[in-house]
Amino acid sequence: MKAFEKFQRFLILILTSVGFFYGGYYFGKSGYIFELRKNPPKIEVRNQYPVNSEVDFALFWEVWDLVSSEYLERPVDPQKMIYGAISGMVSSLGDPYTSYLPPTVNEAVSDALNGSYQGIGAELGIREGQLIIVSPIDGSPAKAVGLRAGDKILEIEDRSTLGMTISEAVSLIRGNAGTKITLTMQTDNQDSRKVEITRGVITIASVTWEDKGDGTAYIRINRFGGETNNEWSKVVTDITINMNQLDAVIVDVRGNPGGYLQSSIFIAEEFFNNKPVVYQESATGEQKAYDAKRPGGFQDVPGVFVLVDGGSASASEILAAALKDNIGATLIGEKTFGKGTIQDAQDFEDGSGVHITVAKWLTPKKVWVHDIGIEPDIAVERSDEDYNNNVDPQLDKALELAKGL
């Protein structure tokens, strides 16, 4: 019996040594150092990149055990607690664009970028700590009930949005088509109002176009998603085939909350070549230029106009700034949203994901527009009355200038 016990201890020692060796090798290569201390036992995890810090997980596990054993409505869901812990960790950074997305929310966000999901059809954001509508999507239930870019969401089903993250709000607002949700909204400094919205299936093309006559093509970009490049290329081909004369192109990114960086670069390349579309600046201040490299079909068009408003964000602002700085395109409308950061998206095996702010983006003139936005060259407001009567003075101004070329 003693011989067997000795063998057990020997085997545990060997396995522990092997585990520490390979674990140490992996985390050492990743920039982490583990330390095991005695009296009292404590594991310290220090991340060498970019800074050293000591983390004591004892409190985490103490609270975990306390909640698991003492919470009134037991048993608790450990997976839900893990997701909540990770969400809290990420949200503690204080960056509304860095967020952890549980599987259902991550799926919904991915579906939205690919053009089909169930919900109200509105992009959400946070400005000065307040949850807002960045933009309602054309043809969506949100648009149908009159939600506008910049509207504040004060409550979701009587639950205050104060301190709520975007991912939390998305998980509450998304739902099956045909179901209803009530939001408490506020436009500017007006009185709050409750709005009941019936969720729907949101399926939209990211790029559409119209021949406005007199050699003017109008192109609407709703988002920069997974199919945007292909849809854009098809629209360019259609315009080339169907329009005998092309004197002006109006690009409409109003209410477009952005999407993939590469799509904004791809579309900008249609208008110019061998010039920077955007600069990416890392945490260390290193800047990388993304230049237009492919030969585009609109590089000889005399007039280019871009329609923008407070719902034009991220990739929309990248495109607008690139066209303005490189070919002198005229921006018409209202000041853009002002989102000047780039997120890296990582998906995990359980279906969850994380979006982490990894860099700034700068205009071709190396201006950071974050929280500032881009001022239009020609300011034209679109009032509530204009929306209600389907009048579009911003587009009318672009058409007027296009015809004057």
pLDDT digits (tens, 9 = 90+) for 108-167: 788 777 777 789 988 888 888 899 998 788 788 999 999 988 899 999 999 999 988 887
For residue 59, being part of any structural domain is answered with no
Domain containing 198 equals 116-202
Assess whether 166 and 235 both reside in one domain.
no
- pLDDT of res. 129: 86
Q: Classify 156 as helix, strand or coil.
A: strand
Assess whether 298 and 331 both reside in one domain.
yes
Task: Give dist(CA 138, CA 146) in Å, integer.
Answer: 11
Assess whether 282 and 385 both reside in one domain.
yes
Assess whether 136 and 190 both reside in one domain.
yes
For residue 229, being part of any structural domain is answered with yes
**Residue 364, preceding bond cis, omega within 30 degrees?**
no
Assess whether 140 and 283 both reside in one domain.
no
- pLDDT of res. 107: 86
pLDDT tens digits along 227-279? 999 999 999 999 999 999 999 999 999 989 899 999 999 999 999 999 999 99
Structure tokens at 65: 């055990």
Assess whether 126 and 154 both reside in one domain.
yes
Domains in the chain, number: 2
Check whether 54 has a pLDDT greater than 50.
yes
pLDDT tens digits along 56-110? 889 999 999 999 999 999 999 999 999 999 999 999 999 989 999 999 888 878 8
Task: Give dist(CA 264, CA 337) in Å, integer.
Answer: 16
Assess whether 299 and 342 both reside in one domain.
yes
CATH classification of the domain holding 334: 3.90.226.10
For residue 396, being part of any structural domain is answered with yes
Domain boundary among 202, 228, 259: 202
Task: Give dist(CA 240, CA 259) in Å, integer.
Answer: 26
Q: Name the percent of the chain lying above pLDDT 90.
A: 67
Assess whether 195 and 337 both reside in one domain.
no
Dihedral over Cα of 182, 187, 193, 195: its sign: negative
Domain boundary among 174, 202, 230: 202
Q: What's the longest Cα–Cα distance across the chain?
A: 99
Catalytic site positions = 314, 339, 343
Domain boundary among 202, 229, 252: 202
